[in-house]
Structure 1
Amino acid sequence: MCEWNYADTWMEQDVTNGMYAGFVYMFQFEDGTSYIGSKQIYKRVKDRKKINSTSVENGWREYTSSSKVVNGKIDNGDNYTKTILWCFPTMNETLLVETILILSEGLKPHNLNLAVMHKARLPTGENKRRLHGIVQELLSWLN
């Protein structure tokens, strides 16, 4: 099983410190293809405010993907890395950023994403500025 890598200054301790409900990740295969996805960190917890001492992790450590294409490549023995790009306090933010990244990367020939399946409420005020900055930083890494 492939272990998670962490982008920028993120570490495993950040994922599990109780400040985040989900994360956006990228799988990169040796053949140059990539896939962007998201994962909820705790079962039935979509907002960090709901994380407590009885919260149970959602299998993120062993997670591969919901994509049949990605899992097929993994099952075929293709070499890959999986990287947590950014963690978010709510699943709404996680899914919004995942959607933006897929829309930005999805038409590139090397991208394995086949669909965007999310309806999101856009943030306002400071959260809008903060997420815009995060997206800009992530897009600069991907280009």
Structure 2
Amino acid sequence: MLCLALLFSTGETVAAEPVELFDTDKERVVQTFDNTREFQEAAKELLTSVSGRVLELNPSLAHALIVKIPLVPPQPLVNRQARIEEKISEIFVIMPKKGERKPWMILHTQEYETLVVEFSKEVSTLKKLVQL
């Protein structure tokens, strides 16, 4: 009975690679977290809200916090308007510290390609998970 309770606990770690919080001002990972089901769900929600590619030539990474979430298993992303149909293995959510720009994502595909996308979902759940 105890084994079943532990197996289905909500904080269960689902991936070997941890979630990382990187501070671009400090130029280092400032915190790591177990890659739990909650992080996986938050990542899936952000992926489902992808609205298209970032149109800026070089969006700034200055003065930002970046949350890296490895996805297990890789998740599909389909956005016909942006001509995206990929399996995403890792997401990086870029959250500018000042409100000058909305958060955006860098995605790594299973084929080791990189996509830079906008999304519409709020990052409040993710911020709560990384204790911001």
Tell me: higher relative CO, structure 1 or 2? Use CA pairs within 8 A at least 6 residues apart. Answer: 1
Q: Which has the higher strand share?
A: 2
TM-score (normalizing by structure 1):
0.23
Q: Which has the higher helix share?
A: 1
